Structure 1
Amino acid sequence: MDEAAEAEAPPNADEAEISGWHMDEAAWYDTVVTHWTKAVSAEDNDGVLGGWGCVDEEDARGSLAFLAQTLGVPAAQWPIAGYRALDCGAGIGRVTGAVLLKSSERVHLVEVSEALLAQAAVKLSEHAARIECSQTSLRDFAPPAGSYNLVWCQWVLGHLTDRDVVALLHRCRSALRPGGALFVKDNVAPSKQCPYDGKYMLDEENAGVIRTHNHLWALARAAGFKLSKTALQTNFPEGLYPVRMYCFVPKEESACCV
């Protein structure tokens, strides 16, 4: 874990306060589902990245480097034999294609939008034997116990309420194989810009919220995880909130390993 993150460890994180959402939760999810099923183009990375398709290559480069450092297996030995990954909120398969299929033998893509998932199947058609696709909301998705070595959540938790983030991560914890890990990659906001108890701010353009580093960490701990490693994504353009990568492991395990 880097020293900056250690110094910012949230107090009483094991008992993180999951307060009420800032609006009616049903109305919130209506907005989110409308955004991802109707408003977002399924054609390219620019559509699913809110106009920031230019970060795609650098994003993948940062994710691959973080995975290599965390998994302890050189990229030259990837995909790791027997490894199975879960891509939560897979969209058009951007992360699966650029990151997860490089590190794992098989990847399970879960996405609420039929249009985005259909595009993912086309985009990843040459890897059809190595992927599985499920169209469902992450609020409902119940992964089978002991199914994955690696669970990846990138730019998706901001579309879920705090309560549903903890519930999803708790289910993902049960779905990990021994030695498995949860990876979260997301924008983080300074608490002074977060009007909701200093925990998060609205990202209306993308029908989501941006949480603080401390609050993201606290939610993961409330779901039964501890932080194994974290790092900032580098070389992103100005104008974006910082993007941080996290590797979480179940509290009862000492480190991420193969």
Structure 2
Amino acid sequence: MEDCLIENQTTFYSKAEHYWKEVPPTVDGMLGGYGSISSIDINGSKNFLHKFLGEGQGKTGTGCALDCGAGIGRITKRLLMPLFRTVDLVDVTQEFLDKARTYLGEEAKRVENYFCCGLQDFQPQPECYDVIWIQWVIGHLTDDHLVEFLRRCRSGLRPDGLIVVKDNVAYEGVVPDDVDSSMCRDLNVLHRLVARAGLNIICEEQQQNFPEEIYVHTLALR
């Protein structure tokens, strides 16, 4: 799908890395100037995630989570740390991960790993994570790299583990963004890529109470 939109993969990724290096390491920076929606976002994510956590058959454990495209650790701090014993962070921008060490405060001691790596190259450890949280970052991966990344994430899950993708979706087709070198896919495209990765969508919801111009869906995958 993206072949007609991305002329050069190397340029596509390098432009995105350059863009994020110029973004301030703040909550507002992580949210593209929409810092005011952070609490709405976190509360929606908590309600979504709580459906799957707990004890019993099919329930997801609360040992270790991975925050993909973690930035300064906004999601780690407010969503994952309260629910999981340990969290790993992965982001392509070292400055953000350095900031996370102070932003997370005392809770930073429960971070086991800070991985500075693009998701197109990141390899989760096998059977390591109960939840792999991927938010507002899949637009920075080509279709093929997203499929490959999701496959690697599947192998990184513990039994009954869960992959959660939360991201902007387009109303139709694929919409490129030259500013941050990303693309926004519609749900049909995203569903096809998930299926190519060998994963099933076990739950899907639209995030409510966001500004009208921010159309976000959350998908739980196994």
Contact 2:130–2:157 at 8 Å: present in 1 too? yes
How far off its partner does 1:19 sit?
5.8
Partner residue in 2 for 1:41: 24
Partner residue in 1 for 2:220: 247
SS of 2:210 mapped into structure 1: coil
User: Higher mean Cα deviation, 21-30 or 112-121?
Assistant: 21-30
Partner residue in 1 for 2:127: 146
Q: What does residue range 1-258 of structure 1 map to in structure 2 within 5 Å?
A: 20=3, 22=5, 23-37=7-21, 39-42=22-25, 44-71=26-53, 83-131=63-111, 132-191=113-172, 198=173, 200-240=174-214, 242-249=215-222
Give the TM-score of the pair, scaled to structure 1: 0.80
User: Structure 2: which amino acid aligns with 1:209?
Assistant: M
Runs of 4+ in structure 1 over 2 Å off: 18-21, 70-73, 203-207
How far off its partner does 1:20 sit?
2.4
How far off its partner does 1:141 sit?
1.1
SS of 2:85 mapped into structure 1: strand
How far off its partner does 1:209 sit?
0.9
Change (3 A) 1:213 1:82: closer
- List per-residue Cα deviations over 1:118-147 (Å, max 9, x = no partner): 111111131122112111111211111100
- List per-residue Cα deviations over 1:53-96 (Å, max 9, x = no partner): 111010000000000123357xxxxxx97511011110010111
Two-structure CA RMSD over aligned residues (Å): 1.6
Identity of aligned residues (%): 38
SS of 2:201 mapped into structure 1: strand
How far off its partner does 1:116 sit?
0.7
- Structure 2: state its 5+ residue gaps: none
User: Structure 2: which amino acid aligns with 1:67?
Assistant: L
User: Structure 1: which amino acid aligns with 2:70?
Assistant: A
Higher-Rg structure is 1
User: Structure 2: which amino acid aligns with 1:156?
Assistant: V
SS of 1:67 mapped into structure 2: helix
d(CA) in 2 for partners of 1:184, 1:82: 18
Change (3 A) 1:142 1:237: same
SS of 1:221 mapped into structure 2: helix
SS of 2:127 mapped into structure 1: coil
- List per-residue Cα deviations over 1:140-189 (Å, max 9, x = no partner): 11111100010000000001111110111110000001100100000111
d(CA) in 1 for partners of 2:28, 2:4: 30
How far off its partner does 1:206 sit?
3.3
How far off its partner does 1:204 sit?
2.9
User: Structure 2: which amino acid aligns with 1:26?
Assistant: T
d(CA) in 2 for partners of 1:207, 1:126: 35
- Structure 1: state its 5+ residue gaps: 1-17, 74-79, 192-197, 250-258
Contact 1:170–1:223 at 8 Å: present in 2 too? yes
Higher relative contact order (CA 8 A, sep 6+): 1
Give the TM-score of the pair, scaled to structure 2: 0.92
d(CA) in 1 for partners of 2:82, 2:193: 29
